[in-house]
Structure 1
Amino acid sequence: MDAVGIRKVSELTGLSIDTLRWYEREGLLPLVEREPGGRRRYSPAAVRFVRLVQALRRTGMPVQDVRAFVRMGSGVEWHGRRAALLEEHAEAIERHIAQLQRDLTVVRDKIAHHRELAERGLDCEDEIDLAEHGSRAKSPDDSEAGGTGDTTEE
């Protein structure tokens, strides 16, 4: 791939042109080449770097950390620092994924709960009753199974 303009980078990455310009102004992208008329040109390496910045931002890396990563330079002496910053961020992503997994379990449990309520013919008010009283509300089928549904003793 040859160097491409900002519109093509926007198409390739899904980032808006305004976001790409903002990334550049904020120092999140290395120097983007310009044509004599001032139009931006992104080399294949620059497009890969845009995708890296996009991934870092999408996964929650603060702007100042992305900027620090960019400003570290590319010499051999910086590889360890860059790797350390990325490792720290990867650990934060893993913690976030673990929390999302726990949250997903809660949501799936709630889905199962609501499906059970639907199968038993209970509405959400019965769910509130369950939560408040710590016992399962009787479904309409419970009274037909051999009683009046009245649980009070005479």
Structure 2
Amino acid sequence: MATDALIDRILTASDEQSTSVVDALHDLLGDATIDASAAPLGVAEAAGVVGLSTHTLRYYEQQGLVRPARNASGYREYSALDLRRLVFLTRMRVAGMTMHDLKRYIALVEQGASTMPDRRRIMLDQRDRIKQQLRELTLALETTEYKIRTYDGHPEG
């Protein structure tokens, strides 16, 4: 699923359920419901659980961001750990993290605990970018609201 489509789903769910965007995101991406003891899922089932297309899952695999095991028949099997990683990747993509930064982050994760300081730095940088985006979006929203107020009663304006 494209990032724009996912954002639309999250915002719509938030509006419909009168919940926060974060709660809607958790509900839609369901990592709280990913059971660590559940049987692995095929690509279509995994895509449904995390709200992505099968194409996106395969793309993430090609990029080295997720490496599902394969069964005896050669079909991908997404474990609970794979699904949680996909939820994380989806959230970071929605937040604007670049594929380059995601690849760097996942490579560090796979190197083990000694890379935690580097991973923390990546997340701190990502947080700073998100905060800046929020400030910019707040300004854009305020400007839009101002314009709407100036047009009240003046549809031709």
The answer as to 2:63 corresponding to 1:7 is no
Equivalent residue in structure 2 for 1:32, among 36, 44, 68:
68
SS at match of 1:38: coil
The answer as to 2:78 corresponding to 1:42 is yes
Q: Which runs of 5+ in 1 are unaligned?
A: 125-154
Aligned-partner Cα distance in 1 for 2:153–2:120? 49
Q: TM-score, normalised by structure 2?
A: 0.71
Higher relative contact order (CA 8 A, sep 6+): 2
SS at match of 1:78: helix
Which amino acid counterpart does residue 20 of structure 1 have in structure 2?
A: L
2:148 corresponds in structure 1 to: 111
1:93 corresponds in structure 2 to: 130
Q: CA RMSD in A?
A: 1.3
1:113 shift after superposition: 1.1
Which amino acid counterpart does residue 68 of structure 2 have in structure 1?
A: V
Matched-pair identity in %: 24
Q: Which runs of 5+ in 2 are unaligned?
A: 1-34
Aligned-partner Cα distance in 1 for 2:150–2:111? 53
Aligned-partner Cα distance in 2 for 1:88–1:48? 22
1:74 shift after superposition: 4.9
Aligned-partner Cα distance in 2 for 1:56–1:15? 14
Query: Greater helix share, 1 or 2?
Result: 2
Aligned-partner Cα distance in 1 for 2:147–2:49? 38
Aligned-partner Cα distance in 1 for 2:89–2:139? 28
2:27 corresponds in structure 1 to: none
The answer as to 2:96 corresponding to 1:57 is no
1:67 corresponds in structure 2 to: 103
The number of residues matched between the two structures is 119
SS at match of 1:79: helix
